[in-house]
Amino acid sequence: MIDVAGTELSQVERDRLRHPEVGGVILFSRNYESPEQIAALVADIHGLRDPQLLVAVDHEGGRVQRFREGFTHLPAVRKLGAVYDENRKRALRLAEEAGWLMAAELRAVGIDMSFAPVLDLDLGVSEVIGDRAFHSDVEAVADLAHAYMVGMRRAGMAATGKHFPGHGSVAPDSHKALPVDEREFEDVRLLDMVPFERLAHYDIPALMTAHIVYPKVDAQPVSFSRFWLQQVLRRDLGFQGAIFSDDLSMAGAHVMGSMPERARTALTAGCDMVLVCNDAEAAEAVLDAGIPHEDPTAHLRLARLHGRHPIDRRELLASVEYRQVRDMLYKLG
């Protein structure tokens, strides 16, 4: 999965996206001007290939929402956690409706996936997670994330939980450095991993890995570890969905060598799709390396992530449900 530079595709980008090893495109704020423009860009990307490329975006709400003007300003999901402490039933309803509205607005411009929900814990430790997490309590996170996933599914979008096995217990931001967690495996399993285990049992369609190394468990960062991906995630947790690496351009992945080496190691370890973002030369290097990834099961997992039942944007914005949900979320602040 790679990115594009602007609000329209260049000829170079069209050619790159037709490469058989490209499976998807992730969009950023720089790709967005208006709902109409982004719908045209997504349609252009989808029209390049058959079967279509997956089109994804990070659209969690709060600090991480790529499209603003013309979209609902979604609250950080930690606000749902605050409601949970007062009224669990109301919080779960809000979480489902938030997941539905987020996904419905994106589906209405053709986007297949949002990399959400966050399954990390808000433990007051991580630089990069914070209010992107639902709660500090594992059961609350699992509860709210499940409801959010149900809402996304109602809108025709598959959920992607992140960042396995949990980013909330390490301070460094893996965009800037490689976080090291010195805990024993059992400590991670009984805390950070619990929401991922619960959502695996609820058949979440996809998970994204963390660039974190646990030296007492395995020498490789999770995104590149056969132990974490094949033994723990596939065998122990029984996860059947797609596994995405976090962006291989992040500082937390630099220890794994060149970009082709990172991509090859992550795919071999068990990722079904790797992200190479904000570095066109690195993306070209990966494609030129000719890394084989002919796993039919992986292709089936990824095929299930395409958006379902298209949504007409005008009808969505005019619907009573949309207006009611939007008003409820605005009241959260």
Q: Would you name the residues annotated as active-site residues?
A: 175, 246
CA–CA dist 23, 123 (Å, integer):
35
What residue has token string 């290097």? 285
CA–CA dist 209, 201 (Å, integer):
17
DSSP line for 91-107: HHHHHHHHHHHHHHHHH
Answer yes or no: are the C-beta atoms of 153 and 83 closer than 8 Å.
no
DSSP line for 109-127: TT--EE---B-----S--S
Answer yes or no: are the C-beta atoms of 135 and 144 closer than 8 Å.
yes
CA–CA dist 15, 4 (Å, integer):
12
CA–CA dist 53, 24 (Å, integer):
5
